[in-house]
Amino acid sequence: MGVMPRSIWSGSISFGLVNVPVRLTTATSPKDVRFHQIHATDGGRVNQKRVCSLDGEEVDYSEIVKGYEIQKDRYVVLGPEELESLAPEASRSIDIEEFVDLAEIDPLYFEHSYYLVPDGPAARPYALLVEAMEGTGKVGIGRFVLRTKQYLAALRPRDGVLVLSTLLFADEVVAPSELDVRTIRDTRPNERELNMARQLVTSLSADWEPEKYRDDFRDKVMGLIEAKAEGNEIAAPEAVERPSPVVDLMAALEASLARAGGPSGRGQHARDDDGTEDEEQASGHGRDRKRASA
C-alpha cells in the first residue's frame, strides 16, 4: 500500500458565495538521484559554511539579513520586520476570480502542481465543483498564499479530483518577441519540405502514454550505485561516436521518414492531402536523383 501524500496547506475554495474546505497535497514525487559532497581522501562529509566575503569569518545565521543588489557590491538591506509588513495576508482561501478554457493557457505558464482534496464534510460541494468544471470544460483562476508568498493558480478537474497548478505571472514569462530569432517570412520552407515535415510528424504521432517513458540516466546511475555497494568492480563503458548531423534539410527529412517507416521509407513520393502525387514535387525528386548520379 502506497504512502498517502502529505498535506501542506488547508483552507477553502471560494467561488461566488460557495466555500469548499480543502487540503493541498503533493501531486508529484521527483526521483532525482541526490549526492552528498564527500572528502575523497578520508570519506568525510563536506559541510557548507556561511562566510563573510570581507573578513573571511563564519557568520551566525542570526546575523544575516536580506540585501537586494542595485549595483555591483551595493545593496539595499531589508530587515525582517520590513518584509513582514509587506507580506500578503495569510489567507486560508483560494478565491476563484474567473473561469477560462484550459486551451487558452500556454503550458509555459504552468509551474508546480498539487492535488486539492476535500477536508472534513466537504465531499458533496467538492464533487459538485468537480462535475461542474468537467461539464463546462473550464479551469478556475485564482490566488492563494502559501508560506508567506502569493501565488496565481489554475484549478482543473482530473479523474474526479481537483488539481491546483501554480502559474507564472505574465511578467515572468519571456516573450518570443524578445528573442533573436528570424521570422518565418525570412526562413519560410518550400512546399516540398513542408509536405515531408508533415508526413514525418504524422508517422511519429502516437497517443500520450507517460508510463512508457523512463529516466534512463537515473536507472543507470542507480544500477551503478547498487553494483558498487555490493563490491563489484565497474569498467567504464567506451564512448560511443555519434553520427555527424545531416546538413542538407531534404536529405535529413528523407532519412528521418525512412527510419520512421513513412511514405519516403516505402519508396513512395510525398503526396498531397487528397492522396494524389504532386507532379512538380515528383519531377523535383527525379531532378535531384539525376544530379546525385551525375
**Whether the predicted pLDDT of 291 surpasses 70:** no
The Cα 204–Cα 212 span in angstroms is 15
Examine the domain organization and report whether 119 and 192 are in the same domain: no
With CA atoms as reference, report the closest residue to 173 among 247, 246, 111, 245: 111
**Whether the predicted pLDDT of 244 surpasses 70:** no
pLDDT > 70: percent of the chain: 82
3-state SS string for 225-265: HHHHHCCCCCCCCCCCCCCCCCCCHHHHHHHHHHHHCCHHH
Provide the number of structural domains found in the chain: 2
Structural domain including 164 reads 7-27+87-172
Contacts of 62 (CB under 8 A, 6+ apart): none
Examine the domain organization and report whether 162 and 16 are in the same domain: yes
pLDDT tens-digit readout, 198-220: 888 888 888 888 888 888 888 88
pLDDT, residue 13, reads 92
pLDDT, residue 227, reads 85
With CA atoms as reference, report the closest residue to 18 among 132, 134, 185, 137: 132
Q: Specify the range with the lowest mean pLDDT, choosing from 28-37, 55-64, 116-125, 252-261.
A: 252-261
The Cα 118–Cα 180 span in angstroms is 47
Three-state secondary-structure class, residue 128: helix
pLDDT, residue 274, reads 41
The Cα 155–Cα 162 span in angstroms is 6
Examine the domain organization and report whether 196 and 95 are in the same domain: no
Examine the domain organization and report whether 148 and 253 are in the same domain: no
Residue 40 has φ and ψ, to the nearest 5°, of -60, -30
pLDDT, residue 192, reads 87
With CA atoms as reference, report the closest residue to 191 among 280, 266, 274: 280
**Whether the predicted pLDDT of 276 surpasses 80:** no
Q: Which three cell numbers stand for residue 58?
A: 563564519
Q: Which carries the bigger pLDDT value, residue 167 or residue 260?
A: 167
pLDDT tens-digit readout, 105-138: 999 999 999 999 999 888 888 999 999 999 888 9
List beta partners, residue 116. Answer: 24, 162
Is 46 within the bounds of a domain? no
Longest Cα–Cα distance in the chain: 81
Q: What is the mean pLDDT of residues 139-151?
A: 89
